[in-house]
Structure 1
Amino acid sequence: MKTYIVILFFLFQYTILFAQNNNLISGNVIDDSGSPIAYAHIEIKSLSIGVMTDNKGYFELKDIPEGTHKIDASFLGFITETHTIKIQKGQKKELYFSLQKNIEELDDVMIISESEKTKKERTAQAVTVIETKEAKLKTTDLGEVIAQTEGVSIRRSGGLGATAKFSLNGLTGNQIRFFLDGIPLHFNGYTFGISTVPVNLIDRIEVYKGIVPIQFGADALGGTVNIVSPKISVGLSGSASYQTGSFGTHRTAVYIKNRDKNTGLFFTGGGFYDYSKNNYKVDVKVANKEGKLTEVTVPRFHDAYQGYGVNFTIGVKDRPWANELSVKGFYTDYTKEIQHNNLMSGIPYGEVMSFRKSAGTILTYRKNITDNINLDAVFGYNYSERQFEDTSDCVYNWFGECISNRNIPGEINAQLSGSNGASDQYTWNNNFFSRINASWKLKEHHIISATLAPTYTKQTGDDRFVKTFDPLNTRKNLFTWVNGVEYKINAFDKTLENIFFVKNYLQNIKSEEYTPPSNNLAISKRNVSYFGFGNGLNYRFNKQFSTKVTYEYATRLPQPDELFGDGQFILSNLELEPERSHNANLEFTFKNKNNYETSNWKIHTNTFLRKVDNLILFVPSVDRTSIYQNVFEAISIGAELSANWTSKNDRLTFSGNSTYQNFYNNSKEGLFAAFYEDRIPNRPYFFANGSASYNFKNIFQINDKLSLFGNTRYVHKFFRSWESAGLESFKQGIPSQQVYNTGITYDYKMSALKYAITVEVQNLTNEKNFDFYGVQKPGRAFYIKLVTQF
């Protein structure tokens, strides 16, 4: 019994001692714009105690004795701030420091590190960098974020999950390549396009205009968009978001990452879920009792979209044997209801469905072989599956009613001559790819780089309702190999940078098909090989004025969907020839001196030329006989202008941009010679964006901010057919339109956590807006979004 008493006595004494030394002071250090200050010094001079903030501006002071203490927070270039605090036994206190910039010290001593955006845009590459820090808090999707950039147009055939056509300086579709961390986007599982990539899972977007760096191993004609994931920093961090609103929309995304400093082990994981009924109102023509077509307004009834996906990466960083060795895995699943044809005309569909699934893995290895030689190697496999289902025998009207039954099942097929009825089509793709980049620093400012990028795709399919000859059973193989060599030089104290590169494009196409009635095996083969080259030059006259000249003679090889069709709406065309283009840009950038006593502004201009031979054009049809064809030569020439201004206290911001592009037919012979010098139809040629925001800081607490924002987009009217086609009714165009969005965001920090809530109204004036083929887009919509970051 005495032994137990002695043990309890010592435990009691230990508890008291622990409580006496468990006093804790924690908090955050931010600048006057609300951004965290990493490596700020926190000190209690009287106790000779001090710590540094982490990369999120967070700190902890442990085992602080009772009493009143003065605590200082300091950082180079900022005025030291002091708080006085009284602490008692077992007490935990939170402090927040908001440091003001020291103007004199900034002018004389302080060097501010450049952002990734500034570093990229100062190179000789034709690139615009879009930061997503603010976009992550808003309800706009990734397509809408990018569409606010000069030269970029994203056109949709409906609401969330609908087909989105990305256009850059007039070129569109497969002429633009999309990447996630340098790997083709669809090989990462995002097979439904860039608009379905969650904004909250990315760090920034790099838009390369016309001139594509060799490290992507890409054969793009009009440019490349590279989505960049967040850096994997030491410690645990992540984010979660949830959005809901009009048309039954729900969107959620979760991202988490952790890295151990001692072992180098790291893990990242993310996931998303999107759903929308897309039941917004549209104007359609319906026959009345007398059989006369009259316009009515009805909600869409069969246009829902659902998508979800997960991804994870495990690996190590900063080891003697590897800068990075990691393995990534992912899975995505998409479901889309299809309500109408490409023209939104005729009889609607009530049960036609489209499904897509994708899964794969990516192995990454990066190593500094020596101080002057670097190696990056990526190897991956991706499996994708598409299903198209058209089995109903119902005839639907625009009110969503099944008004009769067909003798032949299949809502689309029954309207086609020679159709056998229902379809349940599957298309399977197996993709193998790699990207191997090596660089060698010859001297301090001279670097040679090389890239090898082979890709192999095997495609086949099956229509489960076809019992005889099935074209989907054709075995199709596509091998593409893009190689490149680059020489980069920096001169005149880094005021001049020049990049010269050469590329080689190889493609091998093979199709094996058993043809009726003899059931003989027909084999089609074709090989192509092309060379291209380019150069980029950037010269900074001073810190405020610079110019950039870039050029590439580019080749764009046909893609699987263009060559083999998609098994749903697009027919195969193995005779497609590659597109080739002369791409040039001339840019000028003007900005004010870095002076924290005045406002900041920047003006950027770009004139561009895209001269395309053998242009591949998507030729649409109201049924399932759409096809890609080489049709004509074309030229896109135009100019971009962008400007932004920020007040000296970072509270008020204005930005705007405009784009004019004359993309016209340059063919004097062939099928479209009659339309020589006509603008390419169904593509806008003038559009502009504008935005403004105002921030109220430290409203309810030191660490909070209330932001009011608004943006607008204007698109000038354009024709859906050739301008010289004759009949106005045939070439009927899409009228000029202007859409306004506005919203409010409140965000605040608590310890290491950041919370934000945004309320946003899109299409504030309920404008009837269209992008192409007369398909009406959503009207006024209300959304709310919650975000947590840690």
Structure 2
Amino acid sequence: MKLKIVLLLVFIPSTFMMAQNTLSGKVTDENGNPIKAHIRFLNTPINTSTNASGVYHIENLANGSYTIEVSSKGYSTKKQAILLENSLNTSINTTLEKEVQQLNDVLITHASEKQKKETSAQAVSVIEMREAKFKTADLGDVLAQTQGISIRRSGGIGSKTNFSMNGLTGNQIRFFIDGIPLEYRGFNFGIATIPLNLIDRVEVYKGVVPIEFGADALGGAVNLVTPKIKSGFSGSFSTQAGSFGTYRTSILLNNYNEKTGFFIKGGGFYDTSKNNYKVDVDVADDVGKIKNVTVPRFHDAYKGYGMQLTTGVKDRVWAKELSIEGFYTNYTKEIQHNQLMVGIPYGEVMTYRKSAGSVLTYRNEFGEKFLLDVISGYNYRERQFTDVSDFVYNWYGERIPGSEGNVRGEISESNGPSDTYTWNNDIFSRLKASWKINEQYALSFTSAPTYSRQTGDDRLITGYDPASAKRDLFTWVNGADFKINAFNEKLENVFFIKNYWQKVNSEEKIPSNNTLIKEARNVNYFGFGNGFRFEFTKQFSTKLTYEYATRLPQTDELFGDGQFIQGNINLKPERSHNANFELFFKSKANYEASNWQLQTNVFLRKIDNQILFVPSVDRSNIYQNVFEATSTGFEVSGNWTSKNERLSFHANSTYQHFYNDSKEGIFAAYKGDRVPNQPYFFANGGINYSFHNTIGKVAKLTLFIDARYVHEFFRSWESASVNPFVIPSQQTFDFGTTYHNNIKGLKYALTAEIQNLSNEKNYDFFGVQKPGRSLNIKLVTQF
């Protein structure tokens, strides 16, 4: 009897413990937002629901195989088979897709942010970064795959990046992060250095810029939108390594308590590259004969790092968001040659950049009709340029014997040595107020004042120092728009007006005669525009957009950058008539067939007082108002996805005729010539194929190939010489594969990619050679 009791006491607890399985998880939508969902164990009475954070928890489950069904109103139902066997805690996270209902051949689905933007009356294209984040290409390469956009570089990572859209380029295009100017968020080394991991989507506005940005722009705007904060703890991490000593790492962490509204978000990045790819250069042999050789670049390394922290509250009755952000970035770049990559190289020239600042944000809705959005911030920028070497270097990276002490400073005898600091203090604000009058009419107003003070110091100069001048720039852009929705939202029209006001002050002290030179000017312009969209059917729509745009000169153009650009305080604003006519065609939304989309755009840009970057072989580069110009062109893009969503391809092409239209001035002799150093025909394409359930039921393997073609173009005015310098036609192919999987709620993707697969010689920026073939590996995790 005692033995039976002992056996019973041993058996019952062990059996009970074997049945103590626990299942938990989180249900989210495609954007990571929590969903109120129902979880049901099929063929059993077991069921539960998620809480407000999308989390569920079930205890005391017996061993065995189950099929769980996760469902929520407005989303597609998902089923998954699981095996529980003495599992103390099994975690299964589920992502539900928006439900598509078919009613008499009409499909009803919820619109994404991309669809909402692209079906508005704005001239905007939206690039979702969901798949691009997994590739090893940087943000510049991703944008270059978009119709109408050309990205030109003067080298590898960290080199000068020039963004061109429909012929307009550089500062004529304004860049933002969540509506805040890029330079006031610390990213003052160009868009290619911004980690993809920190961006959710990119909005590209072509020629016609909404008032919501409170900014002047001539050729359009690019807004980088960061990921939304999810309930609970979430984040992502990315690291990659590649050829030419390239390493890039970034991290993004979020924590949001829905109950209290408190959130905190932090991120950071670290990049480094030697940029020692091979280039073709002309060198002299021992007897002075010039020959062409292939050598690795030297003294072209780049390093950048930065961090950002935001905290506040959101989704409260008194504030949709009240937050404060702080950031810091630091960049170091070696300079190897001048803008044209001609003459002797540099072996010790350096540039450094730092930025730190803070942004305060307040957003709230007052009732259902009034919205207030206010941001204000401060940004400090410091730049240092050093050119103090006593040596002269050759293209092999060697100091030329006997060169020591001949000339101090490598760039130019006229400039001499330099150790120049440039400091900028920026204060900016933007207020936007919107009033939804009714379902058909809405009115908005934006006001954005910006102040910047620049000064500097060349520490090697004891007398007159141009860098020490005190210069102030105050810019104030105001705008208002009126929006109409009619015919059951088939028609949308937005009419807007803008006012641009700018004041420039400069004080420069001349020590030799103890005088103070003061200069001042101010300008005031008005602009206007209209956006019209009409949807004929769900498959066919059109847009017609126009703006009489103004771009005010920026600090680097007016005051110089203390490095390679000389100031020109007499620059005038440039103005342009910008127009787009777009057509959109797409297939019926039907899961039983493949999907396709086609888009065309005819554009016009007619520019007056064009501000042009005029290069030189030393540090005397300058911006000047030089001519009138006109850009006309046509772009087309399309994509197709198979019924099972395994195979997809996309392609786009752009032709633009950007020509000099000056009737007087120094460039009148070249009237009718294409504007030099601008590609006029280019195309992109890509193919993706995915294998599902390769290793496990959630695994996916994707193969992809991307291609780009740029037709030959002139580096200088085509009529200036019998044999003008031509940049040859070039094409590149990138091939890679990405493996996706999920381990206990931790999503990860591993990518291997070969860029410039055929090792083509490619050139940008006045013929400067870009990197050849490179191998890159990248790991991305999301949780």
- Matched residue of 2:333: which SS? strand
- Aligned match of 1:515: 510
- Matched residue of 2:557: which SS? helix
| Pair 1:239–1:668, CA change in 2 (3 A) | same
Are 1:407 and 2:405 counterparts? yes
Q: Which amino acid aligns with 2:726?
A: G
Is the CA contact (8 Å cut-off) linking 1:171 and 1:222 kept in structure 2?
yes
Residues in 1 aligned to 2:345 and 2:611: alpha-carbon distance in whole angstroms: 29
Residues in 1 aligned to 2:42 and 2:733: alpha-carbon distance in whole angstroms: 54
Are 1:764 and 2:757 counterparts? yes
Residues in 2 aligned to 1:485 and 1:672: alpha-carbon distance in whole angstroms: 37
Q: Equivalent pairs: percent with the same residue?
A: 59
Are 1:158 and 2:155 counterparts? yes
Q: CA shift at 1:319, angstroms?
A: 1.3
Are 1:754 and 2:737 counterparts? no
Q: Which amino acid aligns with 2:206?
A: K
Deviations 1:645-671 (A, max 9, x none): 000000000100000010000011111
Q: CA shift at 1:572, angstroms?
A: 1.0
Q: CA shift at 1:772, angstroms?
A: 1.9
Q: CA shift at 1:17, angstroms?
A: 12
Residues in 2 aligned to 1:270 and 1:98: alpha-carbon distance in whole angstroms: 24
- Aligned match of 1:247: 244
| Pair 1:752–1:109, CA change in 2 (3 A) | farther
- Aligned match of 2:707: 712
- Aligned match of 2:357: 360
1:23 to 21, 24, 33: 21
- Aligned match of 1:143: 140
Is the CA contact (8 Å cut-off) linking 1:410 and 1:423 kept in structure 2?
no
Q: Which amino acid aligns with 1:751?
A: K
Is the CA contact (8 Å cut-off) linking 1:416 and 1:623 kept in structure 2?
no
Q: CA shift at 1:74, angstroms?
A: 3.9
Is the CA contact (8 Å cut-off) linking 1:632 and 1:672 kept in structure 2?
yes
Q: CA shift at 1:359, angstroms?
A: 0.2
Q: CA shift at 1:519, angstroms?
A: 1.9
1:576 to 571, 574, 587: 571
Are 1:779 and 2:772 counterparts? yes
Residues in 1 aligned to 2:45 and 2:689: alpha-carbon distance in whole angstroms: 42
Q: CA shift at 1:387, angstroms?
A: 0.5
Are 1:349 and 2:342 counterparts? no
- Matched residue of 1:269: which SS? strand
- Aligned match of 1:126: 123
Are 1:559 and 2:554 counterparts? yes
Is the CA contact (8 Å cut-off) linking 1:244 and 1:251 kept in structure 2?
yes
Are 1:645 and 2:643 counterparts? no
| Pair 1:127–1:16, CA change in 2 (3 A) | same
Deviations 1:158-217 (A, max 9, x none): 000000000010000110000000000010000001110000111000000000000101
1:490 to 466, 474, 485: 485
Is the CA contact (8 Å cut-off) linking 2:100 and 2:108 kept in structure 1?
no
Residues in 2 aligned to 1:613 and 1:763: alpha-carbon distance in whole angstroms: 38
User: Mapping of 1:223-242 within 5 angstroms?
Assistant: 223-242=220-239
- Aligned match of 2:717: 722
| Pair 1:411–1:650, CA change in 2 (3 A) | same
Q: Which amino acid aligns with 1:307?
A: G
User: Mapping of 1:200-599 within 5 angstroms?
Assistant: 200-404=197-401, 405-413=403-411, 415-417=412-414, 419=415, 421-599=416-594
Residues in 2 aligned to 1:72 and 1:178: alpha-carbon distance in whole angstroms: 45
- Aligned match of 2:186: 189
Is the CA contact (8 Å cut-off) linking 1:58 and 1:751 kept in structure 2?
no
- Aligned match of 1:7: none
Residues in 2 aligned to 1:695 and 1:568: alpha-carbon distance in whole angstroms: 48
Residues in 1 aligned to 2:172 and 2:90: alpha-carbon distance in whole angstroms: 57
- Matched residue of 1:394: which SS? coil
Is the CA contact (8 Å cut-off) linking 1:76 and 1:110 kept in structure 2?
no
Deviations 1:41-77 (A, max 9, x none): 3113676443346899875433335667554334568
Q: Which amino acid aligns with 1:229?
A: T
Is the CA contact (8 Å cut-off) linking 1:69 and 1:85 kept in structure 2?
yes
Q: CA shift at 1:370, angstroms?
A: 2.9
2:679 to 680, 684, 695: 684
Superposition RMSD on alpha carbons, in Å?
Answer: 2.7
* Bigger mean CA offset, 743-752 vs 478-487: 743-752
Residues in 2 aligned to 1:475 and 1:632: alpha-carbon distance in whole angstroms: 30
TM-score normalised according to structure 2 size:
0.94
- Matched residue of 1:443: which SS? coil
1:603 to 579, 598, 607: 598
1:72 to 60, 69, 72: 69
Residues in 1 aligned to 2:433 and 2:98: alpha-carbon distance in whole angstroms: 42
- Matched residue of 2:581: which SS? strand
Residues in 1 aligned to 2:521 and 2:275: alpha-carbon distance in whole angstroms: 43
Is the CA contact (8 Å cut-off) linking 2:450 and 2:476 kept in structure 1?
yes
Residues in 1 aligned to 2:726 and 2:145: alpha-carbon distance in whole angstroms: 23
- Aligned match of 2:615: 620
Q: Which amino acid aligns with 1:202?
A: I
Is the CA contact (8 Å cut-off) linking 1:177 and 1:224 kept in structure 2?
yes
- Aligned match of 2:3: none
Is the CA contact (8 Å cut-off) linking 2:93 and 2:745 kept in structure 1?
no
- Aligned match of 2:669: 674
Q: Which amino acid aligns with 1:786?
A: L
User: Mapping of 1:690-709 within 5 angstroms?
Assistant: 690-709=685-704
Residues in 1 aligned to 2:104 and 2:777: alpha-carbon distance in whole angstroms: 42
| Pair 1:115–1:56, CA change in 2 (3 A) | farther
Residues in 2 aligned to 1:59 and 1:646: alpha-carbon distance in whole angstroms: 35
Are 1:734 and 2:727 counterparts? yes
Which runs of 5 or more structure 2 residues have no equivalent in the other structure? Answer: 1-9
- Matched residue of 2:347: which SS? coil
Count of paired positions: 773
Is the CA contact (8 Å cut-off) linking 1:160 and 1:305 kept in structure 2?
yes
Deviations 1:284-303 (A, max 9, x none): 01101220110000000110
| Pair 1:719–1:42, CA change in 2 (3 A) | same
Is the CA contact (8 Å cut-off) linking 2:389 and 2:410 kept in structure 1?
no
Q: CA shift at 1:115, angstroms?
A: 1.1
Is the CA contact (8 Å cut-off) linking 2:463 and 2:512 kept in structure 1?
no
Q: CA shift at 1:340, angstroms?
A: 0.4
- Matched residue of 1:231: which SS? coil
Residues in 1 aligned to 2:494 and 2:664: alpha-carbon distance in whole angstroms: 37
Q: Which amino acid aligns with 1:178?
A: F
Which runs of 5 or more structure 1 residues have no equivalent in the other structure? Answer: 1-11
Residues in 2 aligned to 1:328 and 1:18: alpha-carbon distance in whole angstroms: 52
| Pair 1:469–1:651, CA change in 2 (3 A) | same
Q: Which amino acid aligns with 2:658?
A: F
Is the CA contact (8 Å cut-off) linking 1:496 and 1:540 kept in structure 2?
yes
Q: CA shift at 1:318, angstroms?
A: 1.2
- Matched residue of 1:344: which SS? coil
- Aligned match of 2:5: none
Q: CA shift at 1:700, angstroms?
A: 1.2
Q: CA shift at 1:406, angstroms?
A: 3.9
| Pair 1:189–1:17, CA change in 2 (3 A) | farther
| Pair 1:384–1:703, CA change in 2 (3 A) | same
TM-score normalised according to structure 1 size:
0.93
Q: Which amino acid aligns with 2:455?
A: T
Q: CA shift at 1:775, angstroms?
A: 0.9
Residues in 2 aligned to 1:37 and 1:438: alpha-carbon distance in whole angstroms: 30
Residues in 2 aligned to 1:416 and 1:773: alpha-carbon distance in whole angstroms: 23
Are 1:744 and 2:737 counterparts? yes
Is the CA contact (8 Å cut-off) linking 2:392 and 2:410 kept in structure 1?
no
| Pair 1:742–1:515, CA change in 2 (3 A) | same
